[in-house]
Amino acid sequence: MQLTHFFKPGEIQPDEGAWVFLLKAPLSPDLSPAELISTFYETAYMAVCNHALAKMYGFENTEEMLGLPVSAFMPPSNSILELLEATIKNGFKLENAVSKENDRVGKPVYFLNKMEALFENGLIIGGKGTQIPVEKP
């Protein structure tokens, strides 16, 4: 699987990290935000990403990230949960949102994010996004 399957040409800038998390099973967008977020954390995994993203998290290559759970990158802190809830309430899209995440050794890192849910046959199958590192807000 490649990023070009999920992103249009020119949608990813050279300095942006790009990612796609997929769910193990599709979800109805009609579930409550709490149910959607809980299932996202239980079943989402890194399906594809670019080298820029791997470097942002301290990995040598993208292969080291593939298959890892979403919690390896976005620990379920209050700020991350609020960010995910805002994405849901904003029609499953969000831009210019700052997140505090963890690199591969648990060091806090901050990103400016653009993300959206991925749909297939009216069901959520995952999410995609881009991010750039920012200084601690």
Q: Which of 44, 53, 57, 72 is nearest to 114 (CA)?
A: 53
Q: Is 97 helix (H, G, I), strand (E, B) or coil?
A: strand
Digit-coded pLDDT (tens) for 111-137: 999 999 999 999 999 999 999 999 976
What's the confidence (pLDDT) of residue 34? 94
Residue 30 one-letter amino acid: D
How far are the Cα atoms of 2, 66, 87, 104 from residue 108, in angstroms, in the given order? Answer: 28, 20, 22, 10
What's the confidence (pLDDT) of residue 52? 96
Q: What is d(CA 19, CA 94) in angstroms, rounded to the nearest whole number?
A: 15
Which pTM was predicted? 0.91
118-125: list long-range contacts, CB under 8 Å, 24+ apart. Answer: 118/6, 118/20, 118/22, 119/29, 119/92, 120/26, 121/26, 122/29, 123/26, 123/27, 123/28, 123/29, 124/23, 124/26, 124/27, 124/28, 124/29, 124/36, 124/92, 125/22, 125/23, 125/26
Torsion angles phi and psi, residue 16, rounded to 5: -90, 140
Please determine, looking at this structure, whether the domain spanning 17-133 carries the CATH number 2.60.40.1120.
no
Digit-coded pLDDT (tens) for 34-70: 999 999 999 999 999 999 999 999 999 999 999 999 9
User: For the chain, what are the domain ranges?
Assistant: 17-133
Residue 36 one-letter amino acid: L
What's the confidence (pLDDT) of residue 137? 67
Digit-coded pLDDT (tens) for 68-109: 999 888 888 888 899 999 999 999 999 999 998 888 898 889
